[in-house]
Structure 1
């Protein structure tokens, strides 16, 4: 069981896979659909990636000193402010029709797809090693 990735390495792997998935999604949208749809995927992917990076930064700051745990109230307020900021950005982009909505929503799923892909690869490695 000591072969599990450290938290930092796991997050970096998710970030790398995220960049690869976003690049492939934008390229695929440009090749198979249109540049407008590729722009929608790109804007959605950049939005969710920025939100993920801000969340990583917030949680990193909050738990930097294990002997001094953060206040739950402050942590939740900051988390939901980030969430509301992202929600406002998504609403604004969709309301004004700056990009194609289905392509934008596809771009918003990039981080989730990256997390699932990394989890599948790590689970497969554990199975191949005979771990549970």
Structure 2
């Protein structure tokens, strides 16, 4: 059986484009856990359950789970009150619009790094 180089290349492209990057560590989490997730309540979102832009509650205020914020969450997303977020309604991320924590120095926290504008944020 012979395959043309074109057929092999198309096959490789199809396989590589089907690969999924698990950037929030939910790949090995059972489906029922993801579907029946509870909203985070506190400074940190629920490790390996909460996704970016999920609704949460911090100090009684409505907020969102975002990468980076005022609390030390040991790699988990931070629950940040809506009045401390800067958002771009034109950019979708996960279940909502792109939002990040705005620090007191005016910088925007995007995970471990500080950026100057949401255009520099890592969106996924």
Normalising by structure 2, what TM-score?
0.26
Q: Which has the higher contact order (CA 8 A, sep 6+)?
A: 1
| Higher strand fraction (1 or 2) | 2
| Higher helix fraction (1 or 2) | 1
